[in-house]
Amino acid sequence: MTETTAAGREMSSHPLVLLSYKLKAFVEFFGERASFLIVPLVLVTMWDVITRKLVFMQIWLVENISIWFRSTMLQEMEWHLHTALFALVLGYGFTRNRHVRVDLVRMHMQTKMQAFVEFIGTTFFMIPYTIVVLYFCYIFTYDSFLTNEISPSLVGMSHRWIIKTFLGVGLVIALASGLAVWLQSIMVLFGPKEMRFELMTLEWPEDMGGGVEGYKRMELADQETDMEKIGRGGKG
């Protein structure tokens, strides 16, 4: 083991790095579990489509089993499941670097410059915006609870405050993911040069082209290599 590697592993126990890992673990705890909401979402959607075509089945289920088989109930359940799924995995997508990026400029930057962009984005945009939205989410969720808000449809779902609470929880998780990335960008920018730890949305200089950020570049490079081989074969 080289001295640089040993120092890097030792520095990975830095308090800010450990805090970013804990925040990431918090985000992924919810994100990994919330991803399974896609299963009931698909099942409810399929059932709604089927029973709307077989009206006699839907009428029988509503009259003999439960009003939850009404088409309006099923459609609103679809919306609620989709909202809960989206809200709870929003932060998970960020720490996993799966959000859509405009990479025309960023993809050509080196690690330090990418970290600077990440630092500016999280400091002045994501974190403040999430806090503001979380504040207003609390207000309209609390008002919904006090008034026992129900669906505007006469045959819709009640207790609207429940799904609004999911929005608030999702925003808290998204805020945690923003703080985790923010802490890591600080360490990349201002920490010792030899420091090495697992990054979330960045790549170390020696890993450029080998991770998520470099996947597209690798793919394009492979295509160029294949075209060169074809060109040489044609000339032969």
Q: Look at residue 182 and tell me if it is in a domain.
A: yes
Helical packing angle, 127-147 and 160-190, nearest 10°: 160
Q: Look at residue 78 and tell me if it is in a domain.
A: yes
Kindly list the distances between the CA atom of residue 59 and the CA atoms of 46, 52, 75, 84, in Å, as whole numbers in the listed order. Answer: 17, 10, 16, 29
Q: Look at residue 29 and tell me if it is in a domain.
A: yes
Q: Look at residue 87 and tell me if it is in a domain.
A: yes
Q: Look at residue 227 and tell me if it is in a domain.
A: no
Q: What share of the chain is helix, strand, coil (3-state, %, to 5)?
A: 75, 0, 25
Q: Look at residue 174 and tell me if it is in a domain.
A: yes
Report the percent of the chain where pLDDT is more than 70.
82
* Long-range contact pairs involving 147-153 (C-beta distance under 8 Å, separation at least 24): 151/72, 151/76, 153/72, 153/76
Q: Look at residue 228 and tell me if it is in a domain.
A: no
pLDDT, tens only, 112-168: 999 999 999 999 999 999 999 999 999 999 999 999 999 888 778 889 999 999 999
- Structural domains counted in the chain: 1
Average pLDDT over residues 84-111: 87
Q: Look at residue 220 and tell me if it is in a domain.
A: no
- How far, in Å, CA of 14 to CA of 59, rounded? 62
Could you list the residue range(s) of the whole structural domain that residue 54 is in? Answer: 13-211
